[in-house]
Amino acid sequence: MPVTQHVLESSPNPRYRLPLRFSVAAVTVTGTAAMALAAAPPASASQDLGHRYVALGDSFTSGPFIVPHEGDPALCLRSQSNYPSLVADRVGAETFVDVSCAGATTEGMTEPQDLGLGTENPPQFDALTEDTTLVTVGIGGNDFGFGDVSLKCAALSGTDPHGAPCQEYYTDGGGDELADRIARTGDEVAEVLSGIRERSPEATVAVVGYLQLLPEDEGCWPRVPFAEGDVGYLDSVQSDLNAALEAEAEEAGMSYVDVFERGHDMCADSSDRWVEGIFPDKPAAPIHPNELGMEETASSVLETLGTGATAPLP
């Protein structure tokens, strides 16, 4: 099955489901972080990674509404400025294959992903080969159902803006449904990592976590409509999801890219924000990374890989 493939020459300058009702906005160039990513030439360490780079993942990888988009199928909404594209540029990838897709789950690694309108994304694992040298994978958010959880919690916030109606909803009965979801998601991600190693045994593999969505305690209702008491609960849930991804990466002997940095969530000032809110100010899907978030993620990936192919961000 066909995959999106970009052949790049080495040069010194080189689990959230999306509602499709949102329109694409005009792109805004966030120059400082982009310049930092381009500042240093690909280091010699990166040459071992750059033969064939495959990017797997969901919409936090593909970068919906960060225009321009490219690739087939179009409904995967792969941005030319997503973090895999930036990483490929910096490691001087000879072959770069980005099969990430908005709405992808772990099932989409081995089965076609139905995108509606008679289109589908082929199994993402189809892109993996024995000679693949680098794989990044960002998956699990849609298996957990963070998109659905976000919508439910936003809807409940109006019933008790200063309380914790969402936490009460998911812990009704004495258990914690979201904790159970995280455990199941960890098992599903473990299978994905095993599948990557089986198909690309010599590849360096980096599991990429999810950017911080909410502050640690105090939110910004109604701009980001989560009840005051639910903000800390949802933040801890996301932290637990990232911890599960990190644990599975460690168990598989793979690198984990920690991008959960405080102060850049949906409630942050526009200049500091890496993830847009329900009503984005910058080109991005709601509750998804903007261009700056993608640049920061790329920088973290490169730092984790130890390529030396990035300069510090200002």
Percent pLDDT > 70 in the chain is: 82
Instruction: Give me the pLDDT at residue 36, please.
Output: 42
Instruction: Give me the pLDDT at residue 171, please.
Output: 96
Mean pLDDT in residue range 74-99: 97
Percent pLDDT > 90 in the chain is: 76
CB 230 within 8 A of CB 154: no
What's the mean pLDDT when you consider all of the chain? 86
Instruction: Give me the pLDDT at residue 149, please.
Output: 96
pLDDT tens digits for 35-81? 444 443 343 445 589 899 999 999 999 999 999 998 899 999 999 99
For residue 22, give the DSSP letter.
S
CB 257 within 8 A of CB 304: yes
- DSSP readout, 226-274? --HHHHHHHHHHHHHHHHHHHHHHHHTT-EEE----TT-STTS-TTT-S
Cα 215 to chain centroid distance, Å, stands at: 18
Q: Is the pLDDT of residue 304 over 50?
A: yes
Instruction: Give me the pLDDT at residue 311, please.
Output: 38
Instruction: Give me the pLDDT at residue 257, please.
Output: 98
Instruction: Give me the pLDDT at residue 217, please.
Output: 84
What is the value of pTM for the model shown? 0.84
We find that the CATH architecture of domain 5-149+188-211+245-305 is 3-Layer(aba) Sandwich (3.40)
Catalytic residues: 59, 288
Instruction: Give me the pLDDT at residue 206, please.
Output: 98
Other CB atoms within 10 A of residue 10 CB: 15
* Residue 269 neighbours by CB under 8 Å, 6+ apart: none
Pairing of strands 134-138, 204-208: parallel
CB 193 within 8 A of CB 205: yes
pLDDT tens digits for 216-267? 988 998 889 999 999 999 999 999 999 999 999 999 999 999 999 999 999 9
Instruction: Give me the pLDDT at residue 25, please.
Output: 31
Mean pLDDT in residue range 155-164: 95
